Structure 1
Amino acid sequence: MTVTALVSAKSSGVTTSALALALSSTRPSLLAECDPAGGTIRAGLFQAQISAGTGLYHLAAAARAGEDALAQAFAGHLVRLDESGHRQLLPGLTDPAQAPAMGRTWPALAQVMRVLSDEGGYDVVIDAGRLALESGHLHPTLTPAPLLYGADLVLLVVRATDQSLALARHMTEPLRSDLTDRGTGADGLGILLIEDGPRRAHEVSEALRVPVLAALPWEPETAAYLAGTGRAPRALKKSALLRSARTANDHLQAAASRRALHQKYPPAAPAAPQLAGVLQRLNQGVTTRG
């Protein structure tokens, strides 16, 4: 399936968009909240029902102990986004001060995401938060760069306003450069347009010289629920946001498939047995921790 990383130049609805994509997927899905500035889903949608003992930060210690320890810890730090357990969440950091400890963990975590997608059939959505640059490149601490380098698609979330376009314009070239030099290629870069403003998709694409791969409507009621600041709509699954997110998932899957065909990737190396164990543990069911 697809590994999709969402980023922004400034707060543009990355987390809400990531939740919408994960919740609307017709396949098993995993949302990994990997914003170095800290996660918001724990305190937002989950209303602080997930304790600090569960989540991304605890994988850093496991990764230092080796791939087997990371595989064992990974499934144990997921929580369910739905009753069926087909949609899972890896809660994010509880404190930005934890971000430096993740530096050695990002590459190993990128491998886990790859295994879940390629061998487990998961749609993996990575909330990578707000981009930070250093000397024209992705910041090594304030951006989870290895996750972007290993993704099938990297989506710059942009609102349809001139202000959002002005901020995003400074991020596109560094992203192109780093994805070319260190990732799977600049052709994996696209725009996820939040239709909150006067600009249309073709104007955004022309302004940023990046294709708009998907769009989501601005729907305050559903967005407020996903952010934890409002009640659930009566018909959440039929909301305009989640219906559009299902269509967006189809578009993104098609874009990733086209990339794979065009690039003619060589066969992937077999996953390390320790990483493959992640799938076995997920198939056995994840115990929700809170």
Structure 2
Amino acid sequence: MPVTALVSAKSCGVTTSALALTLASKRPSLLAECDPAGGTIRAGFLQGEVGAGFGLYHLAAAERTGPDALAQAFASHLWPLDEAGHRKLLPGLTDPAQAGALVRTWPALSEVMHVLADEAGYDVVIDAGRLAFESGHLHPTLTPAAVLHQADLVLLVVRGTEQSLTLARHVIDPLRTELAERGSGPDGLGLLLIEDGPYRAHQVAEALKTPVLAGLPSDAGTAGYFTGGGRPPRGYGRSPLLRHARTAAEQLEAAASRRQIQRQYPSRPGHAQIAGVLQRLTERGGVRG
């Protein structure tokens, strides 16, 4: 199953899109809030239900102990997003000042997420936040660089507006170069289009010289619920955002599969012990309360 990282040039609906893809997946799924600027789901969609003693920041200490300890901590910090526990959240940072502690944790954490995808069959969606560059490369603290390097797909979230395309033009080439030089290749880069504005998918793809791999509608009602929580809007399960997110998830899986076939990727070496830890703990639905 694919590990898909979502990024933006500026605030552009990354978290809403990532949450929609996670909730719409037909398989078990995980949303990892890896934005160094801080996660917003616990205070918004979950309305403070998850305390600060839970989430991404606490994995840094476990990583220093070893991969099995990291896998145990990772699984115990997953929060269920649905009653059945099939869709889970790794809550993000509560304070951007914590980001420095994760610089050495990102590679190992990325490996754990790939094991979850490859061995436990999860769709993994990563909210990687806003791109930041330093000397032409991804900033080591302000972006989860290693996570983007190892992702099966990296999607730049854009809107069909002139402002959004202008901002995207400044980051698309450096991001493509980064993936070519330090990641899994530039062919892993694509666009996720929020269908808001006058420009259509083919125009956006042409303007940014990058394929639009999926699109989501501008659905203010459902997006507001994802941002602020509370009572779901009427017809939430059949909302345009969730309906299109189901299609988008299938399109992204197909794109990742095509990429794997075209590049003839060798299978990643499995880590049976980590896979076993994740499988046992995720079957219990994470830790609540």
Aligned to 1:31: 31
Q: Which residue of 2 aligns with 1:143?
A: 143
Task: Report the CA distance between 1:229 and its aligned residue.
Answer: 5.8
8 Å Cα contact 1:224/1:231 also seen in 2 = no
Tell me, in whole angstroms, the C-alpha distance in 1 between the residues paired with 2:271 and 2:218: 40
The AA in structure 1 aligned to 2:261 is: L
- Which residue does the alignment assign to 2:7? 7
CA contact (8 A) 2:115 2:275 kept: yes
Matching residue's letter, 2:71: A
Aligned equivalent of 1:76: 76
C-alpha displacement at 1:218, in angstroms?
Answer: 0.2
Residue 116 of structure 1 corresponds to 116
Cα shift at 1:231: 3.7
Aligned to 2:288: 289
CA contact (8 A) 1:156 1:192 kept: yes
Unaligned residue ranges in structure 1 (runs of 5+):
none
> 5+ residue gaps in structure 2?
none
Specify the code of the residue in structure 2 equivalent to 1:286.
G
Give the C-alpha shift of residue 288 in structure 1: 3.4
Percent of aligned pairs sharing the same letter: 67
- 3-state DSSP class of the match of 2:228? coil
Residues 168-202 of structure 1 deviation map (CA, whole Å, 9 limit, x = unaligned): 01111111111111111100100000011111111
Quick one: distance in 2 between partners of 1:123 and 1:267?
A: 17
Partner of 2:270: 270
Aligned to 2:205: 205
- 1:280, distance to aligned residue in structure 2 (A): 2.4
The alpha carbon displacement at 1:66 in A equals 0.9
Secondary structure of the 1:126 match is strand
Q: How many Å separate the matches in 2 of 1:259 and 1:185?
A: 10
CA distance in 2, matches of 1:166, 1:160: 11
More displaced 10-residue stretch of structure 1: 95-104 or 173-182: 173-182
Determine the C-alpha separation between the residues in 2 that align with 1:287 and 1:178.
Answer: 34
Letter of the structure 2 residue corresponding to residue 29 of structure 1: S
Deviations 1:187-239 (A, max 9, x none): 01000000111111111101110000000000100000000166411221100
In structure 1, how many angstroms separate the alpha carbons of the residues matched to 2:130 and 2:185? 21
Deviation of 1:156 (Å): 0.1
Alpha carbons 1:168, 1:208 under 8 Å: kept: yes
**CA–CA distance in 1 between the matches of 2:173 and 2:27?**
33
Aligned to 2:186: 186
Instruction: Measure the CA separation in 2 of the matches of 1:229 and 1:263.
Output: 41
Q: Does the aligned pair in 2 maintain the 1:115–1:276 contact within 8 Å?
A: no
Map of 1:38-53 to 2, 5 A cutoff? 38-53=38-53
Measure the CA separation in 1 of the matches of 2:227 and 2:272.
37
Distance 2:190 2:275 in 1: 29
| 1:131 counterpart residue number | 131
Q: Deviations over 1:5-62 (max 9, x none)?
A: 0000000000000000000000000000000000000100011111001000000111
- Alignment partners' CA distance in 2, 1:227 and 1:64: 34
Alpha carbon RMSD of aligned pairs, Å? 1.1
Q: Distance in 2 between matches of 1:90 and 1:98?
A: 15
More divergent stretch after superposition (255-264 vs 269-278): 269-278
Q: Tell me the matched-pair count.
A: 289
Number of the residue aligned with 1:55 = 55
- 1:286 offset after TM fit, Å? 2.7
Deviations 1:247-288 (A, max 9, x none): 0001000000000000001232121523542222212x1343
Match of residue 90 from structure 2: 90
Q: 1:229 to 1:276 in 2, by over 3 A?
A: closer
Q: Tell me the distance in 2 between the aligned counterparts of 1:247 and 1:88.
A: 20
Written as runs of structure 1 = structure 2, the 5 A alignment for 1:220-231 is 220-228=220-228, 231=231
- Runs (4+) of structure 1 exceeding 6 A deviation are none
Q: What is the CA–CA distance in structure 1 between the aligned matches of 2:240 and 2:270, rounded to whole Å?
A: 40
Give me the whole-angstrom Cα distance separating, in 2, the residues matched to 1:138 and 1:30. Answer: 24
TM-score by length of 1: 0.97
